[in-house]
A and B are shown apart, each in its own frame.
Chain A
């Protein structure tokens, strides 16, 4: 069952490799690149939300930390892109470690608001600092190669996805994390260290997010606090995960593709009604919770597994 799904994923991945060969339109390739980016962001969001049971409304903070670290290292220190993006990931991971240590002791709901506040606080710092360009944002050296960015984004997203697959669906780590999610006291009684596991999950979620942020910064060549640290990044990741199916790896991918397709069409035809997008996002979140508790993935027929799901 699982293997068949994994095979499906590998097949889908192989298909995405061929996209640049088929799509020659630069704009369309950009759309595909961004879709891949959102898949990455949704999957990383779900590690903490679905597997650990902690909503991270500060997802944008790690995306922004990655983007700004990469930008600062490339522009101000003259680093190359690859080490700069890697440093972005490391910075995001470090941020998760520092932020997660006290906040992950909180109950789920409080963690959610604490991370939200963290994201806003970081946004404020970035707005005040000189090195980040404040509200003016930062300009990066342009590299005009849509294919390059498509493959880099795809590389980061797919390495993340398959690493998660191994860690969360194959290795004991995923089971441990689920145990903590279901019953923290019980997990403790079994000799697990919930705080440590949650921090590990947090870092596991933050590092790829930071790298994706770094790739994003180099790709769009201009970042400012609103585009990288704004609430919309976290909100959209949440919508994709909830709509697609929380607590799975495939759900967020489906959610990301569907929501992103909708978003693209929306902005193409209805961009005058910017605020409407916020309303729709909210409605999709609330509606999914009420009507699709397992997301779109939950509507697909399940074999075998349905029986032993608690």
Chain B
């Protein structure tokens, strides 16, 4: 039982990471109606960008985050028209084609990463990695490394900023309008192409930053992508598709489940357990944990 608080803390940490990944993921789905299969690969590329930048410049990786965001957001912004073209062309089944396209991209990214970055696992050294806090209370005690705490703060900050962006700015209004009805939003003067490109850029930037963070807290390798793609998807489905408010609860739930499996049971069964939960949820309530999805 002495591990319980530790397991909970780790779970909350992981959950915080899943929140940011899943929010970007569902934003893109809401606006572009495409599930980006390459989400895990953007995370992986971001992580490697952070890794090499830290190695070359010896700058604290936490300080590199804004730079990584800007570069990747620009890349995403420039990249989006290609996806847009696939989705809006005269193809039999544009949504399916969009899916196939991002899947192909993901495969390509993974292959390229394995070619250039090798097969080994790395981790990004950070000054925060050394420090830790010792929390005690009510007979329980746990240590929280400061890098994990920094990660949690970062995740909450990103969530807060996105919340503000979506609910309190004209840009956010446009995004929400697009998600509700693309044609009507267009008639009201929302530039579909531009807004989509911005959203995609923001999403890619955030994913890449999260990758750096994951590289600091956990580890990074060229093969890390698919796991995060799958977990982002799990969170979104558990929360209910398109129901952003459900994302945090679902993400924390998954994070805690995962950390419990890591600590108490066999980590090899994690994916199986998560899949079993997803399966049951879908059987009982296909619209997510809160029944508010689409």
Q: Please list the residues of chain A having a beta carbon within 8 angstroms of any beta carbon in chain B.
A: 49, 53, 55, 57, 101-103, 105-110, 112-114, 116-118, 120-121, 124-125, 127-128, 181, 231, 235, 238, 242, 246-247, 275-290, 293-294
Q: Are B35 and A290 within 8 A (Cβ)?
A: no
Out of A57, A128, A282, A288, which one reaches B266, CB within 8 Å?
A: A128
Question: In this assembly, does B109 line the interface, its C-beta being within 8 Å of a C-beta of chain A?
Answer: yes
In the complex with contacts A109-B35, A109-B95, A290-B108 CB distance below 8 A: no
B82 at interface, CB cutoff 8 A: yes
Further contacts, 10 of them, CB under 8 A, given A55-B103, A105-B282, A285-B104: A55-B99, A105-B286, A108-B99, A117-B233, A117-B278, A128-B268, A235-B107, A281-B111, A282-B104, A289-B91
Evaluate contact between A293 and B271: CB separation under 8 angstroms: no
Closest chain-B Cβ to A266's Cβ sits at a distance in Å of 13
A278 and B90 alpha carbons, distance in the complex (Å) = 28
User: In whole angstroms, what is the CA distance A290 to B110 when docked?
Assistant: 20
What A residues does B96 contact at CB under 8 A?
49, 53, 55, 108, 246
User: Which residue of chain A lies nearest to B85 when distances are taken between CB atoms in the complex?
Assistant: A290
The answer to whether A124 and B268 touch across the interface, beta carbons within 8 angstroms, is yes
Residue of A nearest to B229 (CB): A113
Cβ–Cβ contact B269 & A124, under 8 A: yes
* A118 proximity list for chain B (CB < 8 A): 275
Q: How far is the CA of A231 from the CA of B226 in the complex (A)?
A: 10
Given A55-B100, A108-B96, A109-B34, A286 and B105 contact (CB-CB distance below 8 Å)? yes
Within 8 A of A (CB), among B70-118: 82, 85-86, 89-93, 95-97, 99-101, 103-112, 114-115
Cα A310 to Cα B90 in complex, Å, equals 10
Type the 1/0 row for B254-272, where 1 means its CB is closer than 8 Å to any CB of A: 0000000000001011011
- CB-based nearest B residue for A293: B91
> What chain A residues lie within 8 Å of B1 (beta carbons)?
none
Q: Say whether B111 contacts A120, CB under 8 Å.
A: no
Q: Point out the residue from B91, B101, B241 that lies within 8 Å of A110, measured CB to CB.
A: B241
The yes or no answer to B140 lying at the interface (CB within 8 A) is no
Counting residue pairs across A and B whose Cβ atoms lie within 8 Å, the total is: 139
Task: Give chain A residues whose Cβ lies under 8 Å from the Cβ of B100.
Answer: 55, 238, 242, 285, 289
- Measured CA separation A127–B270 after assembly (Å): 13
Closest Cβ neighbor of B276 among chain A residues: A121
With A and B bound together, what is the CA distance between A231 and B233 in angstroms? 18
Report how far A110 CA is from B230 CA in the complex, Å.
10
Taking a contact as CB atoms under 8 Å apart, the answer to whether B110 and A121 are in contact is no
Interchain nearest-CB distance for A237 vs B (Å): 12
Expressed in whole angstroms, the Cα–Cα distance for A294 and B89 within the complex equals 12
Q: In the complex, what's the smallest C-beta–C-beta distance from A297 to chain B, in angstroms?
A: 12
**Is A120 within 8 A of B93, CB to CB?**
no
Question: A105 → chain B, closest Cβ, in Å?
Answer: 5
CA of A242 to CA of B97 in the docked complex: distance in angstroms?
A: 9
Closest Cβ neighbor of B116 among chain A residues: A275
- With an 8 A cutoff between CB atoms, is B283 at the interface? yes
Is the beta-carbon distance between A121 and B268 smaller than 8 angstroms? no
Question: How far apart sit A286 and B97, CA to CA, in the bound complex (Å)?
Answer: 9
Of the listed residues A55, A127, A247, A278, the one surrounded by the most CB atoms of chain B closer than 10 A to its CB is A278
- Closest B residue to A128 by CB, please name it: B268
Contacts of B101 in A (CB 8 A): 285-286, 289-290
Given A53-B96, A108-B95, A108-B99, the answer on whether A286 and B233 have CB atoms closer than 8 Å is no
Contacts of B108 in A (CB 8 A): 278-279, 282-283, 286
A278 contact set on B, CB distance < 8 A: 107-108, 110-111, 114
* B42 contacts A by Cβ under 8 Å: no
With known contacts A107-B241, A128-B269, A121–B89 Cβ distance under 8 A = no
B234 at the interface (CB under 8 A from A): yes
A49 neighbours in B (Cβ, 8 Å): 96
Q: Are A121 and B282 in contact (CB under 8 A)?
A: no
Q: Evaluate whether A282 and B269 lie within 8 angstroms (CB atoms) in the complex, with A108-B96, A247-B92 already known.
A: no
Question: With A106-B237, A118-B275, A121-B271 in contact, do A181 and B93 touch (Cβ < 8 Å)?
Answer: yes
